[in-house]
Amino acid sequence: MIEVQDVSKKYGDFTALHSIDLKIKTGEFIAVLGPSGCGKTTLLKLLAGFMGPTTGNIVMDGTLMATAKRVTPPEKRNIGMVFQSFALWPHMTVADHIKFPLDHHPNRKKESKAELQSRINDVLGLVGLDAFAARYPSELSGGQKQRVALARAIAPLPNLLLMDEPFSALDVELRMEMRKEIQKLHRETGASIVFVTHDQSEALAIADKIVVMNDGRIEQIAPPEIIYTRPETPFVATFVGKCNLIKGQWKKEGFVPEIDPGSIWPDLGVARSFKADGIYPVRPEQLQLSPAKKNGLHGRVTFVQYQGHEIHYTVEVAGGTWTVHEPVYLPRFQAGDAVEVSLKAGAGQERDFLSAAR
């Protein structure tokens, strides 16, 4: 268990982290998600022990690891690290990359040559590099290099694996492949993982829990499904997936949109958790279009974008622009069409699943 307790970090006069509180359970896979400059790497460096907090404590498995006055350095913590740049050693083979941290790890146990070789083989197998043990980095593809970096980090069986945008240098296909690799590694090693990314789909896909950061603060900590369906702030709603922030008023019976005071939209489950007054966060796939009738909320389609699996509409309504995603099999609208926008019947059906998940 790792506890970040009321941690702030200043660089000179600039505060990069404001009173962060975070608990990471043993074996948990945490994604730290946020825009550039929000403090993700700063948090990771504090967890690694590269620097200490300006205020607050970091406790790992009951031991105080860092305060403003004293920091346990990275080599005295049982952690593994993987960064965006692979930083492999050009003169070492793949097998050497795994052997080196085993030889130099502070918690190293005395092992016979045969035991050591068998551990190296296990790690090679885990990252799918059995056939590449004797190769040098210059003889590997980008994905294989990243696997070596992973293997090097996990070889000493760290309790905590810290990863800073580890796949951002890889192309899209490889990135998808590496996401599965890391899920497999997590399953098989049981290590806690803190994975920094600015890619929301990556965070949603792989993490047990997402920490959404903005401007040096944590906006929300929750499992991916909760982050997506029950965002607590406008920032979380719009940073993770697309979201329409619809103005109006919550009443007992539901939400009355400002631009259609005659209608009442049912709560799809966000009313209690969303912390901004007078805003209903509605996902594009929770809205639907129909031909404009005399009454109801009218808009005009301004853009139509075909996406293969759905159609993305941009709709101008009085005082706002909304996005609506519809399945391809529904009747299509054209730019210029007058349309009625309403909540899709059946939107929010994930509620049953969510209550089971919680």
* Size of residue set near ligand ATP by CB under 6 A: 12
Q: Which residues neighbour 188 within 8 Å (Cβ) at sequence distance 6 or greater?
A: 126
Q: Which of 5, 41, 67, 273: binder of ligand ATP (CB under 6 A)?
A: 41
Cβ atoms within 10 Å of 307's Cβ, excluding its own: 9
In this complex, which beta carbon is closest to ligand ATP, that of residue 42 or of residue 233? 42
Among 99, 145, 147, 198, binds ligand ATP (CB under 6 A): 198
Question: Could you identify the residue written with the tokens 């696997």?
Answer: 147
> Cα(31)–Cα(350) distance, rounded to whole angstroms?
22
Residue with tokens 């391809």: 328
Radius of gyration of the chain measured on its C-alpha atoms: 24
Q: Does 39 bind ligand ATP (CB under 6 A)?
A: yes
Select from 13, 14, 70, 262 the one that contacts ligand ATP (CB under 6 A).
14
* Span from 32-40, 96-104, 169-177, 323-331 in contact with ligand ATP (CB under 6 A): 32-40
- The strands making up 79-83's β-sheet, listed across from edge to edge, are 79-83, 160-164, 192-197, 29-33, 209-214, 217-222
Cβ pair 18, 195 in contact under 8 A = no
> Using CB under 6 A, which of the segments 11-19, 130-138, 229-237, 295-303 binds ligand ATP?
11-19
Q: Which ranges of 5-112 would DSSP assign to H, the alpha helix?
A: 40-48, 94-104
Could you tell me which stretch among 30-38, 91-99, 131-139, 155-163 binds ligand ATP (CB under 6 A)? 30-38
Query: Given candidates 2, 4, 7, 16, which one binds ligand ATP under the rule CB under 6 A?
Result: 16
Check the CA dihedral 280-285-286-291 and report its sign.
Answer: positive
Whichever of 77 and 198 has its CB closer to ligand ATP, that residue is 198
Which one among 21, 25, 26, 37 touches ligand ATP, defined by CB under 6 A?
37
If binding is defined by CB under 6 A, does position 325 make contact with ligand ATP?
Answer: no
Tell me which residues touch ligand ATP (CB under 6 A): 11, 14, 16, 34, 36-42, 198
